[in-house]
Chain A
Amino acid sequence: MNTSTVQIILLIIHLLFFIYAFFAIGSYVILAIISTIETKEYMKKNSFVNYKEIMSSTISPSISIIAPAYNESLNIIENVRSLLSSHYVNYDVFIINDGSKDDSLEKLIKAYDLVKVDFLINQQIPTKPIRAGVFKSTNPAFEKLTVVDKENGGKADALNMGLNISNNNYVACIDVDCLLLENALQKMIKPFLEVTEETVIATGGVIRIANSCIIKDGKLLDVNFPKKWIVQAQILEYLRAFLLGRMAWSRLNGLLVISGAFGLFNKKIAIEVGGYDTNTVGEDMEIIVRLRRHMEEQKLKYKVAYIPDPLCWTEAPDNYKIFISQRNRWTRGTIETLRKHRKIAFNSKYKSLGLLSYPYWLFFERLAPVIEVIGIIYFVILMALNEVRWDYTVAFTVLAYLFAVLFSIVAIFSEELTFHQYKKKGTGFKLIVISILEPFVLHPFILYAAIRGNMDYYFNKKKKWGEMTRKGMAKAKKNN
Chain B
Amino acid sequence: MESYQYLIDYFENSPTIIKVVWVASSIFIIIIILLVIYLKYLRGHLRKNEKIVTKHQKEYESYLISYLYAGNEEEEISEEQQAIIDKLKSCAVDEFKRRIIVSTLLRLRNEISGEMAEAIQKLYFQSGLISYALSQLKSKKWYIVAKGIRELTQFHVKEVHDEIVNFVNHPKKEIRKEVQLYLVTLFHFEGLKFLDVLQTHLSEWDQIQLLEVLQHFENQELPNIKPWLKSTNDSVVTFALKLAKIYNQFEAKDAIMQLLAHQQKVIRVDAINALSHLQVVEAKDILKNNFDKLSLEEQITFFKLLENMYETSDEPFLLDHVTHINFEIKLSALKTLKILNIEKFKSLNEISDEPDYVKIFNFIEHN
Contacts and interface: CB of A to CB of B under 8 A. Distances in A.
B208 A412 contact: no
A387 interface: no
Contacts of B366: 118
A395 B25 contact: yes
B36 A402 contact: no
A396 B205 CA distance: 51
Contact of B21 (A47, A399, A417): A399
Contact of A193 (B46, B204, B327): B204
A122 interface: yes
A392 B147 CA distance: 55
Contact of A391 (B18, B39, B46): B18
Contact of A59 (B35, B146, B211, B363): B211
B217 interface: no
A428 interface: yes
Nearest to B173: A194
Contacts of A194: 203-206
Given A48-B177, A54-B208, A391-B18, A120 B32 contact: no
Chain A, interface SS category:
helix
Contacts of A190: 205
A420 B363 CA distance: 52
Interface string A229-248: 00000000000000000000
Interface of A: 44-45, 47-48, 50, 53-54, 56-57, 59-61, 118, 120, 122-124, 190, 192-196, 391-392, 395-396, 398-399, 402-403, 405-406, 409-410, 412-413, 416-417, 420, 423, 425, 428-429, 432
B209 A122 contact: no
Contacts of B208: 53-54, 57, 59-60, 193
Contact of B143 (A44, A395, A406, A420): A44
Contacts of A45: 143, 174
A429 B44 CA distance: 12
A148 to B, nearest CB: 16
Contact of A423 (B17, B47, B201, B205): B47
Contact of B29 (A395, A402, A432): A402
13 contacts: A48-B177, A120-B363, A123-B356, A196-B235, A398-B25, A399-B21, A402-B28, A406-B32, A409-B36, A409-B39, A423-B47, A425-B47, A429-B40
B281 interface: no
A120 B331 contact: yes
Nearest to A123: B356
B263 interface: no
Given A50-B209, A53-B208, A54-B205, A395 B177 contact: no
B39 A432 contact: yes
B24 A399 contact: yes
B28 A399 contact: yes
A226 B366 CA distance: 54
B209 A53 contact: yes
Interface string B39-78: 1101100110000000000000000000000000000000
A57 B14 CA distance: 69
Contacts of B24: 399
Nearest to B327: A122
A45 B46 CA distance: 21
Contact of A428 (B39, B143, B209, B328): B39
A391 B28 contact: no
A193 B40 CA distance: 40
Contacts of A395: 18, 21-22, 25
Given A410-B35, A413-B35, 10 more contacts: A45-B143, A48-B143, A53-B208, A53-B212, A120-B331, A192-B204, A395-B21, A399-B28, A423-B46, A428-B39
The 8 closest A-B pairs by CB, nearest first: A402-B28, A193-B205, A193-B204, A53-B212, A395-B21, A196-B201, A194-B205, A120-B363
Contacts of B14: 391
B360 interface: yes
A44 B31 CA distance: 27
B36 A432 contact: yes
A118 B143 CA distance: 53
Contacts of A54: 205, 208-209, 212
Interface string B179-205: 000000000000000000000010111
Contacts of B298: none
B87 interface: no
A420 B203 contact: no
Contacts of A123: 356
Contacts of B40: 428-429
B178 A48 contact: yes
Given A122-B327, A194-B205, A413-B35, A428 B21 contact: no
A44 B144 CA distance: 10
B122 interface: no
A28 to B, nearest CB: 14
B363 A428 contact: no
A124 B32 CA distance: 55
B39 A403 contact: no
Contacts of A413: 35, 39, 42
Contacts of B356: 122-123
A36 to B, nearest CB: 14
Contacts of B178: 48
A54 B208 CA distance: 7
B266 to A, nearest CB: 11
Contacts of A59: 208, 211, 242, 246
Contacts of B219: none
Nearest to B363: A120
Interface in B265-296: none
A346 B130 CA distance: 57
A48 B146 contact: yes
A357 B69 CA distance: 64
Contacts of B10: 391
B164 to A, nearest CB: 15
A32 to B, nearest CB: 14
B212 A406 contact: no
Interface in B333-348: none
B12 to A, nearest CB: 13
A194 B360 CA distance: 36
Given A399-B28, A420-B46, A428-B40, A193 B363 contact: no
B213 interface: yes
A120 B177 CA distance: 41
Contact of A56 (B201, B212, B328, B360): B212
A399 B24 CA distance: 7
A343 to B, nearest CB: 29
Interface in B85-117: none
B367 interface: yes
B150 interface: yes
Given A118-B363, A402-B32, A416 B43 contact: yes
Which of A50, A195, A196, A432 counts the most chain B CB atoms within 10 A? A196
Which of B29, B40, B211, B212 counts the most chain A CB atoms within 10 A? B212
